Copies of this chain bind each other. A is one copy, B any other.
Amino acid sequence: MKVDGKPMRTIWVEPDGRSVGIIDQTALPHRLTTARLTTLDEAAHAIRAMLIRGAPLIGATAAYGVCLAVRQDSSDDSLDRAYAVLIATRPTAINLKWALDEMMAALRNRPRAERSTAAYRRAAEICEQDVAINTAIGRNGLPLIEAIAARKKSGERVNVLTHCNAGWLATVDVGTATAPIYLAYDSGIPLHVFADETRPRNQGASLTAWELGKHGVPHTVIADNAGGHLMQHGLVDLVIVGTDRVAANGDVCNKIGTYLKALAACDNNVPFYVALPSPTIDFTVVDGVAGIPIEQRGADEVASMTGRTADGRIETVRIVPEGSAVANYGFDVTPARLVTGLITERGVIAAAPAALAGAFPDRAGKAE
């Protein structure tokens, strides 16, 4: 998407043809900073320390992490080590495993001399495929927004609520939850987005608000606590969120707090949609609530907050008393019964086993 009029992606190969450029998202929204990854460990660090985040972008970065490893050492041992190091960075992200498996399949049975070139080619394909999938998600989700707009009086905006960041910053480009939003906005539909700030890491306030603002989409940042009140009073027309993993039964794992918004949507008859590329579906997990492991992250993310002081310095401040314990669950699982539909690259489908297996028989079959 565009940043101050200039097209940009979240990840790219630098002009040297080897090192990998990324937007360092930890500096947003206050500074647009890029970083250059040159080794496997730098790629793993970028994922672990969340310089990049978002399920599809984690997958793309892991793919390039394999490239960087293979470029230095194209042996089987190096491949195995790259897989092991990268898979351990973020346990919840299913795309991470998908992307690594794709890379291994492309490289394993290839002569060592060809592996580096093949790796960069496959990683680039994974990136292009992500953009193509997200564009299709946008096309498939657009009619949902158009239908609401058609019921509005002239001048009334369609109000979309989203949680966390499933925007272009979470993908290679376009985004998942934002794909229908950008498409609707670009096609002239009056539209407004409520962006949950999304504590503890504030990806909504710092990333979703930033990218919507840079693209010109009207939006309002709210505390995560506010969504229920807004829905109760008719101020939200639909919810669209992303996901880190969808189970075979349609249960949706996404950023902590998503489940609370789904409950509020259900209680107020607000449609609750989840946008996802099909690599996010994990057909090996039969029951999402019971079976998806939930990553626990460091206490500092809850105990502290980072932002910009009035005089422009970036500071981290502690907001919890010394001596208080802190728990930091990264994700929760929204039961399929609360999900109105899944917006995928193959259309909007029900969050139900048969619908998922029917839409993606190629992937469902493999898991059995």
Taking A29-B321, A229-B256, A260-B263 as contacts, is the C-beta distance between A327 and B199 under 8 angstroms? Answer: no
- A347 interfacial contact with B, CB 8 Å: no
In the complex, are the beta carbons of A228 and B307 less than 8 A apart?
A: no
- Determine the chain B residues whose CB is within 8 A of the CB of A213 once the complex forms: 321, 323-324
CB-CB nearest in chain B for A212: B324
Minimum CB–CB distance from A188 to chain B (whole Å) comes to 21
- A367 interfacial contact with B, CB 8 Å: no
Taking A199-B223, A220-B325, A221-B326 as contacts, is the C-beta distance between A205 and B320 under 8 angstroms? Answer: yes
Minimum CB–CB distance from A295 to chain B (whole Å) comes to 12
In the complex, are the beta carbons of B328 and A223 less than 8 A apart?
A: yes
Taking A222-B327, A226-B256 as contacts, is the C-beta distance between A302 and B206 under 8 angstroms? Answer: no
Contact with B along A162-196 (1 / 0, CB 8 A): 00000000000000000000000000000000110
Chain A interface residue count: which class?
35 or more
Within A318-355, the residues touching B (CB, 8 Å) are 318-321, 323-329, 331-333
- Chain A residues close to B by CB (< 8 Å): 29-30, 194-195, 197-200, 202, 205-206, 209-210, 212-213, 218-230, 232, 255-257, 259-261, 263-264, 267, 289, 294, 302-310, 314-321, 323-329, 331-333
